[in-house]
Chain A
């Protein structure tokens, strides 16, 4: 029933899915931006489908993390910009710290498997 979600492929997707929101928060903390720019930055960096940015931005808007405003454009219709709300900035601080703790822990485990295994056996003795 769920054959397309292979046990090997799903980790990658789940990881990306989890950090997409954090990446958007981080990008917006450096300056307001519009969806196309965010999408192209993220699709280059972490290989995410550009279309998913819109559902994600709507969800973040629903959650009160971002808000929009329109900027008149010299050519064509006005452009919709996103900026972080106070809740968004708070969320970024918390999630960034969580992510660093988590990735440090994972890196530590990945880096020296033998050393880690040796210390753990020493500890148990």
Chain B
């Protein structure tokens, strides 16, 4: 593989990353080729020693996703981190998918429920006083406020749990990075297995 080919494949693997970060990564590998050339190695040799550009790109992308998740804990960063980590193949998606969808579905449902309860609380607070609520107008306002406050605190607990869940997923995936393996081991015939 030539330098141009390697960089092109790396670049296409990095699509979707912030342009500045991708450019920085590409510059790293360009510098590597330049240093290799200065040390008297051919482009093919350097490319061979570097490993597969697509795999490297996936790993770098996952790292960037995790970094973003650490800096800004919002749903978009969480989705990005989880997708990038899944792209690694570090988590066996087929095995975990039912579980994952179940958890995500439950969380989503709970969030919707919390929002619904919040709105219902607001409704009780606003409409209660006019609708001759039992206990009088003040009781209805207080009850409405109470319901809203309750839903906010449940929502907060849910958010904390979701953040924790994303962190746990990222941690688990990093522990099980399979990507280093092919780059670590020279591409050789698979060892005869079954013999101890």
Contact = CB atoms under 8 A, between A and B. Distances in A.
Interface string B156-196: 00000000000000000000011111111110001101001
Interface in A1-43: 1, 3-9, 13, 16-17, 20, 34-36, 39-40, 43
Given A6-B191, A35-B31, A36-B36, A59 B181 contact: no
A86 B39 CA distance: 32
A58 B183 CA distance: 16
Contact of B60 (A9, A58, A77): A58
Interface residues of B, number: 39
B5 interface: no
A51 B28 contact: no
A89 B148 CA distance: 49
Contacts, number: 97
A50 interface: yes
Contacts of B178: 5
Contacts of B181: 4-5, 13, 17
A113 interface: no
Given A5-B181, A17-B180, A49 B63 contact: no
Given A17-B177, A62-B67, A51 B56 contact: yes
Contacts of B52: 51
Given A13-B180, A35-B28, A62-B63, A50 B50 contact: yes
B55 to A, nearest CB: 8
Task: Name, among A1, A36, A79, the residue most crowded by chain B CB atoms within 10 Å (CB to CB).
Answer: A36
Given A1-B92, A35-B28, A54-B28, A48 B184 contact: yes
Interface of A: 1, 3-9, 13, 16-17, 20, 34-36, 39-40, 43, 47-52, 54-55, 58-59, 62, 76-77, 79-80
